[in-house]
Structure 1
Amino acid sequence: MDDALHWQKSTFSGGGEGDTCIELAASPTHIHLRESDTPTTTLTTSPVALAHLLKGIRVGAALSAV
Protein backbone atom coordinates (compact mmCIF):
# COMPACT_ATOMS: atom_id res chain seq x y z
CA MET A 1 0.00 0.00 0.00
CA ASP A 2 2.79 2.49 0.87
CA ASP A 3 4.27 2.15 -2.62
CA ALA A 4 1.12 3.64 -4.15
CA LEU A 5 1.11 6.63 -1.77
CA HIS A 6 2.85 9.90 -2.53
CA TRP A 7 4.58 10.89 0.72
CA GLN A 8 5.31 14.56 1.44
CA LYS A 9 7.44 16.03 4.21
CA SER A 10 5.94 18.54 6.60
CA THR A 11 6.98 22.13 5.96
CA PHE A 12 7.82 22.27 9.68
CA SER A 13 10.56 19.66 9.25
CA GLY A 14 13.15 22.36 8.68
CA GLY A 15 14.38 21.02 5.36
CA GLY A 16 17.55 19.64 6.95
CA GLU A 17 19.23 16.35 6.31
CA GLY A 18 18.38 13.28 8.35
CA ASP A 19 15.37 11.27 9.31
CA THR A 20 13.54 13.59 11.69
CA CYS A 21 10.55 14.49 9.55
CA ILE A 22 6.84 13.89 9.66
CA GLU A 23 5.52 12.72 6.29
CA LEU A 24 1.93 12.73 5.07
CA ALA A 25 0.16 10.95 2.24
CA ALA A 26 -3.47 11.13 1.16
CA SER A 27 -5.61 8.40 -0.33
CA PRO A 28 -9.21 8.91 -1.47
CA THR A 29 -10.64 8.26 2.01
CA HIS A 30 -7.74 8.46 4.47
CA ILE A 31 -4.74 10.46 5.62
CA HIS A 32 -1.55 8.54 6.36
CA LEU A 33 1.21 9.82 8.65
CA ARG A 34 4.65 8.44 9.41
CA GLU A 35 8.03 9.46 10.77
CA SER A 36 10.80 9.35 8.22
CA ASP A 37 13.06 7.40 10.57
CA THR A 38 10.46 4.58 10.80
CA PRO A 39 8.73 4.59 7.41
CA THR A 40 7.21 1.14 7.82
CA THR A 41 5.11 2.31 10.77
CA THR A 42 2.15 4.45 9.71
CA LEU A 43 -0.86 6.02 11.34
CA THR A 44 -3.99 6.03 9.20
CA THR A 45 -6.97 8.23 9.97
CA SER A 46 -9.85 9.99 8.29
CA PRO A 47 -9.60 13.65 7.27
CA VAL A 48 -12.41 14.52 9.73
CA ALA A 49 -10.69 12.85 12.67
CA LEU A 50 -7.39 14.57 11.85
CA ALA A 51 -9.15 17.93 11.58
CA HIS A 52 -10.68 17.41 15.04
CA LEU A 53 -7.28 16.49 16.48
CA LEU A 54 -5.61 19.56 14.98
CA LYS A 55 -8.43 21.81 16.22
CA GLY A 56 -8.03 20.38 19.72
CA ILE A 57 -4.29 20.97 19.61
CA ARG A 58 -4.81 24.57 18.50
CA VAL A 59 -7.39 25.23 21.21
CA GLY A 60 -5.16 23.61 23.82
CA ALA A 61 -2.21 25.70 22.67
CA ALA A 62 -4.32 28.86 22.87
CA LEU A 63 -5.50 27.94 26.37
CA SER A 64 -1.99 27.25 27.62
CA ALA A 65 -0.87 30.70 26.42
CA VAL A 66 -3.44 32.41 28.65
Structure 2
Amino acid sequence: MTTYQWRKSSYSADAGNCVNVAAADGVIAMRESDEPEAILTTTPAALRAFIRGTKAGRLDHLAATRRQ
Protein backbone atom coordinates (compact mmCIF):
# COMPACT_ATOMS: atom_id res chain seq x y z
CA MET A 1 0.00 0.00 0.00
CA THR A 2 1.32 3.42 -0.97
CA THR A 3 1.76 6.01 1.76
CA TYR A 4 0.97 9.45 0.40
CA GLN A 5 2.31 12.80 1.59
CA TRP A 6 -0.94 14.79 1.30
CA ARG A 7 -0.89 18.52 0.53
CA LYS A 8 -3.66 21.07 0.54
CA SER A 9 -3.84 24.45 -1.09
CA SER A 10 -2.64 27.42 0.94
CA TYR A 11 -5.89 29.09 -0.16
CA SER A 12 -7.80 26.57 1.98
CA ALA A 13 -6.50 28.07 5.24
CA ASP A 14 -8.33 26.26 8.04
CA ALA A 15 -11.44 25.49 6.00
CA GLY A 16 -12.68 21.95 6.53
CA ASN A 17 -13.70 21.23 2.94
CA CYS A 18 -10.48 20.93 0.97
CA VAL A 19 -9.10 18.84 -1.82
CA ASN A 20 -5.85 17.14 -0.86
CA VAL A 21 -3.32 16.12 -3.52
CA ALA A 22 -0.34 13.76 -3.37
CA ALA A 23 2.14 12.32 -5.86
CA ALA A 24 3.89 8.96 -5.57
CA ASP A 25 5.23 6.36 -7.98
CA GLY A 26 4.17 8.31 -11.07
CA VAL A 27 0.57 8.63 -9.87
CA ILE A 28 -1.39 11.69 -8.75
CA ALA A 29 -3.83 10.97 -5.91
CA MET A 30 -6.68 13.27 -4.85
CA ARG A 31 -9.17 13.15 -2.00
CA GLU A 32 -11.63 15.36 -0.16
CA SER A 33 -10.60 16.23 3.36
CA ASP A 34 -14.03 15.33 4.74
CA GLU A 35 -13.92 11.85 3.11
CA PRO A 36 -10.22 10.87 3.16
CA GLU A 37 -10.75 7.15 2.53
CA ALA A 38 -12.13 7.83 -1.00
CA ILE A 39 -9.04 8.37 -3.16
CA LEU A 40 -9.06 9.12 -6.88
CA THR A 41 -5.85 8.39 -8.80
CA THR A 42 -4.72 9.48 -12.24
CA THR A 43 -1.55 10.05 -14.23
CA PRO A 44 0.13 13.44 -14.45
CA ALA A 45 -0.58 13.54 -18.22
CA ALA A 46 -4.29 12.80 -17.77
CA LEU A 47 -4.58 15.44 -15.03
CA ARG A 48 -2.85 18.03 -17.24
CA ALA A 49 -5.25 17.23 -20.10
CA PHE A 50 -8.25 17.53 -17.76
CA ILE A 51 -7.08 20.90 -16.42
CA ARG A 52 -6.36 22.23 -19.92
CA GLY A 53 -9.76 21.08 -21.17
CA THR A 54 -11.51 22.64 -18.20
CA LYS A 55 -9.72 25.96 -18.66
CA ALA A 56 -10.56 25.93 -22.37
CA GLY A 57 -14.26 25.44 -21.60
CA ARG A 58 -14.51 21.99 -23.18
CA LEU A 59 -16.42 20.66 -20.19
CA ASP A 60 -18.81 23.59 -19.72
CA HIS A 61 -21.67 21.65 -21.28
CA LEU A 62 -21.54 19.21 -18.33
CA ALA A 63 -22.49 21.99 -15.91
CA ALA A 64 -25.20 23.51 -18.10
CA THR A 65 -28.68 23.49 -16.65
CA ARG A 66 -30.99 21.14 -18.52
CA ARG A 67 -34.31 22.62 -19.51
CA GLN A 68 -37.37 20.43 -19.61
TM category, shorter:
0.7 to 0.9
Instruction: For structure 2, list consecutive stretches of 5 or more residues without a partner in the other structure.
Output: 61-68
Count of residues in Structure 1 that have an aligned counterpart in Structure 2:
59
* SS of residue in 1 equivalent to 2:5: coil
Normalised by the length of structure 2, the TM-score is 0.75
Q: What is the 5 A alignment of 1:44-63?
A: 44-60=41-57
Query: Which is helix-richer, 1 or 2?
Result: 1
1:24 corresponding residue in structure 2: 21
TM-score, normalised to structure 1, is 0.77
Give the distance between the partners of 1:21 and 1:29, measured in 2 at CA: 23
Q: Hey, what does 1:8 align to over in structure 2?
A: 7
Task: Measure the CA separation in 1 of the matches of 2:10 and 2:42.
Answer: 20
Query: Max radius of gyration: which structure?
Result: 2
- Over the aligned positions, Cα root-mean-square deviation in angstroms equals 2.0
Structure 1: unaligned runs, 5 residues or longer: none
Pick the structure with more strand per residue.
2
After superposing on structure 2, the runs of 4+ consecutive aligned residues of structure 1 that deviate more than 6 Å are: none
Identical aligned pairs, as a percentage?
Answer: 37
